[in-house]
Amino acid sequence: MKQIQKPLITEFVALVTQGIECWNKAGEIVVRLLDEHNMTIADIAETSELLTEDIVTRFEQLGRKQLIPCLLVADYPAARHLVRLPYSEQKRAVETSVDLLVCEGKDTSVLKVSVENLTHTQCRQVFDGDQVRSIGAQRAWLEDRRATQEIRDVLSSPGALYQVRGRKVVFKRPCELSAGQLAQIISEIEN
């Protein structure tokens, strides 16, 4: 890195830090306006063309220590899940990582993944409303998803589940069939 870039980087970091401090102060002011001056979020939002009720709500969350500042501008998939977590869980997840259960066939492993790197599907696996799922809960979620997919496979292509041999049907795996699907199998046997 060139020496000329270091002062610019230092200045950039200082400005971002000052901005975060200002956001926290702005959040504290929103809380004061709501609590001490009986204003509503809508009242505050109406005072500026820049502010929407959603933005004011986020600043209230900052002021009440319900939202960590970096989530105010985060644009990765996990961010929308993180804002629902308690403040301490938000902070822990952002500063460290979350556990992600990975299943490959019969083998399972647990990865420590930074929240910025989670995909949309991994977010649904890891987060459950206002909490982070435990490894056991993730395993149950994955199993439920697998079972649901198997049912979809059964309904969309029943031929893959069975084989007609003469006047007999051999089912290749357990399945659930509708009356219409059974009628289709019977018609295949009779032909």
Tell me: the pLDDT tens digits for 7-55? 899 999 999 999 999 999 999 999 999 999 999 999 999 998 889 999 9
Residue 117 and residue 94 in contact, taking contact as beta carbons nearer than 8 Å: no
Q: What residues pair up with 110 in beta bridges, in sequence order?
A: 101
> In the 8-state DSSP scheme, what is residue 76?
S
In sequence order, what are the residues at sequence separation of 6 or more whose Cβ sits closer than 8 angstroms to the Cβ of residue 85? 93, 127, 130, 131, 132
Residue 184 tokens, joined = 């289709």
Tell me: the pLDDT tens digits for 118-135? 999 999 999 999 999 999
Answering whether pTM is above 0.85, one says no
What is the C-alpha to C-alpha distance for residues 151 and 144, in angstroms, rounded to an integer?
11
